[in-house]
Every structure is written in structure tokens, then in C-alpha cells.
Structure 1
Amino acid sequence: MIYFVGAGPGDAELITVKGKRLLAEADLVIYAGSLVNPELLNTCKKETTILDSAKMTLEAVIKTMTDANRLQESCTIVRLHTGDPSIYGAIREQMDRLDAAGLAYEVVPGVSSFCGVAAALKKEYTLPDVSQTVILTRMEGRTPMPPKEELSLLASHQATMVIFLSVSLAKQVQERLLSGGYQEETPIAVVYKATWPDEKIYRGYLNQLAQLIESHHITKTALIVVGEFLGDTYLRSKLYDPTFNHMFREASQ
């Protein structure tokens, strides 16, 4: 069986219980070496074959998995992706090829880096009367964006925004967000390697974004978050309001 496993955002303890168990049972592990915490590999057996996919093509990854599966009938294979494999994980193209080869696989979700960022910031993305929507997106680079998902169009919603894979394009990100409707004084944060031991957090306002990233020499492995959820003004949740009646509790007044 082949398992696509989310490794979590960085902290080795943030992999799921199931993901850790599968790593301990694996005969072959192919991991995203540029992003996955290598400490996780200590969970593997001594005889486990461990390969870094940063040096492999899609074709090489698939061939390695299919060959191992055919050579050993009971082989357990883990394809270890950073964060949650469904977000910028490029797993669909792998699954399609495994389907074509008639090989069984399972996806084990993981903690995404955007969840790790919220935890690092000690903030809630969905505050009452501030934002009830979280947009996960990126700036176009070598991978283009669908026209309707251009950053300034998404910015027009004024929702909480988490921007992946874009710190190297900080000036363009800042320009697009401002042209889309965010105000210059909109709070922002840049979180480098959230949940890793060398995590760093930089806070400011949208009109400072590009300068903030440049001055701290951040070129990769960081997320940009934008929105008023980073501020201190919000309404109390109705869920625990004593005046709010719901199916589990009668209003007290």
C-alpha cells in the first residue's frame, strides 16, 4: 500500500498519530527534503529505504514507488509531504499515475503551515464581525494563476488572507493587495518556518510588507498573512454568550 502522508508544518510532534505509525512501519519513504523536518525520519526502521524527492522528477518518484510495490508484495510506502498534502502538494498528478498503474493508495491529512502560523501568532482567523472567510492563495510566478483568482480580485473581499510561496515577490504582492482594496494600515505578519525551532515572526502594516521582508532577508519558507484578524477589535462569539439560545443550552437571561 502507498500512503501520502502530511508531515505537518515543521514541529516533528505535529505529525498525526496515524502518520507517525505509518513512518514506523514503512519499507520505503520518499520525503520532500527541502521542507520536511528530517527529525521525522528517526521514526523509521533502520532498514527503511529513505529517498529525498527534491532531487527526483515526478516520473522517478512514480517509478520508484511502483517498482518497490511490485518487488515486495507487502511493501509499505510513505510519500511524505510537508504540511497537508492537499495544499500545494502536487499529489493529484501522482495519484492519477498510480490509478493508471492500478496501484492502491491512501491519503493521510496533516497540519497545514497556515494552521501553524495562526498558532505561532496566537490569533484566530475567523473573528466575529471581522472576517468569517479565509483565503488561501499565492502570487503567480512560474505557476500561473487562473484569471479570476488574480490577487487584487481576491483582495477585494477584505477577508483574512494567507499567501503561500510568495515572499520572493513581496513588492508585487503589496501592490496587488493595495490595488484590490486593502488599506495601507491593514495589519500583516510574515512568519518564517512556523513551528520550527528557528521560527521568526515579523509584524507590521501592508504598506511596510515589501520592506519588512527585504530588511529581514526572507527569501523562502515563510507565509504572509493579511487582515484585521491581527488587530484587537472584534465582537464576542455567540456560541458561549449567556444570552444566546441553542440546542445544547438555554439562554440564561
Structure 2
Amino acid sequence: MTVHFIGAGPGAADLMTVRGRDLVAASPVCLYAGSLVPVEVLEWCPPDARRVDTARMVLDDIVAELVAAHARGQDVARLHSGDPSVFSAMAEQMRRLDAVGVPYDVTPGVPAFAAAAAALGRELTVPEVAQTVVLTRTSARATPMPPGEDLAVLGRARATIVLHLAVQRIEAVVAELLPNYGAACPAAVVAYASRPDEVILRGTLGDIAAQVREAGVERTAVIIVGAVLAAENFPGSHLYSAARPR
């Protein structure tokens, strides 16, 4: 028996990997966050599968479901939105499973920031504009940020910065980034990336907060800030350069 931690992708069911789909189809138990994982994905479950919505469950209850499935010898498809390597709370579940000897594996998924970049039609690493992407969040309504990982510190490099779980604090995010990026720095917010109700907002640090409030965006959104969002006159990459040795 194995618990399969599976990245369910950013929202569109057809953005789940083929491996993830096949594991769902082969697992008699499926745990998923009903508020985030598209309902279409559940159609791949076996007809008699046990489907458990974890949206309102606490960690103890989730792990109890996984351990109970292990006792029955049943594989579990444990679905996480986006990619489980970032902001998924997978690590704490793994720690519990390690303690009781329940095996698991991980299948990656399309992360929300990648779907947001695709919606914007932008590469987040552009030659001589920005080659670093910072994936982070804020601490409101969540566990505190580690020392040195606040936006004022992270923003000093002026790298492309991507914020998850932060759109409800958009004014505070802007205030923390302004000293390093400036009000004219391009900014964007993508909510429900890849879904039919996707919302795309483009602007600058000076006006993005007002756009967010006007659009009523309050959750399931990614904030992206950086010069790459408006990059046009940049050199070609070395990868496809005619001068590169072949």
C-alpha cells in the first residue's frame, strides 16, 4: 500500500499529469481539498472509491484516514492543488506517516505560479532583466515567516517576486515592496489561473491594490511583481545564440 501525494495542478483538470491521473484511477481511496481541487478530477476515481474532502479537516483526521487505508491495504490518492513541493502542508503529513511506517511517494503537478505566468503570457526569467524568481507568502492568517524572509529583505534583490496566499493583504504587500521596487514597477494578479472564471489584473505597484479591491479578488490568487512583466528590449539568450558553439 502507498499514499500517493499528487499535484492536482492549478485548476484545469487537464493540467494534471498523466501519471497523476492514472494513480487516481488506480486508488480505492482519494483525499482532496474540495475548495481547491477541480471536481472533474474526481471522475477519474474508481466507481466505488472512498472520496474524502479534507477542506475542513484537521491534520489528525487526515492522517487517521491515511493510516486506516494502510491498515486495509488500500492505496490512497492524496491530492494537493498546484504542485505539492510548495505551500502544500505535505511535509507535516509525511512526518506523521514516517512515524507510523506508512509508505508514500510524490507526483509533481503544475504549480499555480506557472499557470499564472502562462495566463499573463510571460516568462519570469528574461536575459539581463531578471534571472531569479522568489516564491514566498506573507504571515497573516498563517504560520510566521522565518527571520530574514520578510518582503522588505527579499525585495532588496529586485528579483521577480511571486506571492501565494497574500492577496487578502494586497495593500500591506504593496507597502512592503514599494521601497525596493518603486510605484512604477510592473505588477499583476492572477486569480483562479487556468479555470473558466480566471481573473487577470495587470498594472503597477502603484495601482494593483485598487484593481484587486475593485475586482473583488480575495483568494486563490497569485501576485507577481517585477520588471519581467513589461520586458521588451532585452537581448536574446545564449541558449539560441548563433555564436554559441554547437
User: What TM-score range do you get, normalising by the shorter chain?
Assistant: over 0.9
- Paired residues, what number? 243
Q: In the alignment, is residue 53 of structure 1 matched against residue 54 of structure 2?
A: yes
Note the alpha carbon deviations across 1:160-191, whole angstroms, 9 max, x for none.
11110011001100000012x10211011110
Which residue identity lines up with residue 145 of structure 2 in the other structure?
A: M
Distance 1:145 1:68 in 2: 34
Deviation at 1:233, TM superposition (A): 2.8
What's 1:161 paired with?
161
The 3-state SS of whatever aligns with 2:240 is coil
Counterpart of 1:169 in structure 2: which amino acid?
R
The one-letter amino acid of 1:116's match is A
**1:31-70 pair list within 5 angstroms:** 31-70=32-71
Residue identity opposite 1:26 in structure 2 = S
Q: Distance in 2 between matches of 1:34 and 1:233?
A: 41
Structure 2 SS opposite 1:60: helix
The within-5 A match list for 1:22-37 is 22-37=23-38
Aligned equivalents of 1:238 and 1:105: distance in 2? 40
Q: Which residue of 1 aligns with 2:146?
A: 146
> What's the CA shift for 1:147?
2.1
Q: CA RMSD in A?
A: 0.9
Which residue does 1:8 correspond to in 2? 9
Tell me, in whole angstroms, the C-alpha distance in 2 between the residues paired with 1:139 and 1:30: 27
Give the Cα–Cα distance (whole angstroms) in 2 for the partners of residues 118 and 124 of structure 1: 7
Q: Does 1:197 align with 2:196?
A: yes
Q: Give percent identity, aligned residues only.
A: 43
Q: Which runs of 5+ in 2 are unaligned?
A: none
Structure with max Cα Rg: 1
Partner of 2:234: 234
The residue matched to 1:147 in structure 2 has which SS?
Answer: coil
Scaled by the length of structure 2, the TM-score of the pair is 0.97
**Secondary structure of 1:22 counterpart:** helix
CA distance in 2, matches of 1:2, 1:184: 46
How far apart are the structure 2 equivalents of 1:139 and 1:59? 25
Map of 2:129 onto structure 1: 130
Counterpart amino acid of 1:243? Answer: A
The answer for the alignment partner of 2:98 in structure 1 is 99
Residue by residue, what CA displacement relative to the aligned partner does 1:104-157 show, whole Å, maximum 9, x if unpaired?
111111110011111111110010000000000112213211120011111111
Partner secondary structure for residue 11 of structure 2: coil
- Answer whether contact 2:201 2:208 (CA < 8 A) is retained: no
| Partner residue in 1 for 2:174 | 174
Normalised by the size of structure 1, how large is the TM-score?
A: 0.94
In the TM superposition, what is the alpha-carbon distance from 1:212 to its structure 2 partner?
1.2
Are the aligned partners of 2:6 and 2:80 in contact in 1 as well (CA < 8 Å)?
yes
Could you tell me which residue of structure 1 aligns to residue 183 of structure 2?
A: 184
1:217 alignment partner in structure 2: 216
Q: Deviation at 1:69?
A: 1.4
Task: Give the superposition deviation at 1:38.
Answer: 0.9
Distance in 2 separating the partners of 1:50 and 1:210: 38
The 2-side partners of 1:19 and 1:102 are apart by 23
Deviation at 1:239, TM superposition (A): 1.2
SS at structure 1 position matched to 2:195 = coil
In 2, distance between residues paired with 1:129 and 1:153? 22
| CA shift for structure 1 position 244 | 2.3
Residue 86 of structure 1: how far off its partner (Å): 1.3
Q: Which stretch of the first structure deviates more once superposed, 48-57 or 136-145?
A: 136-145
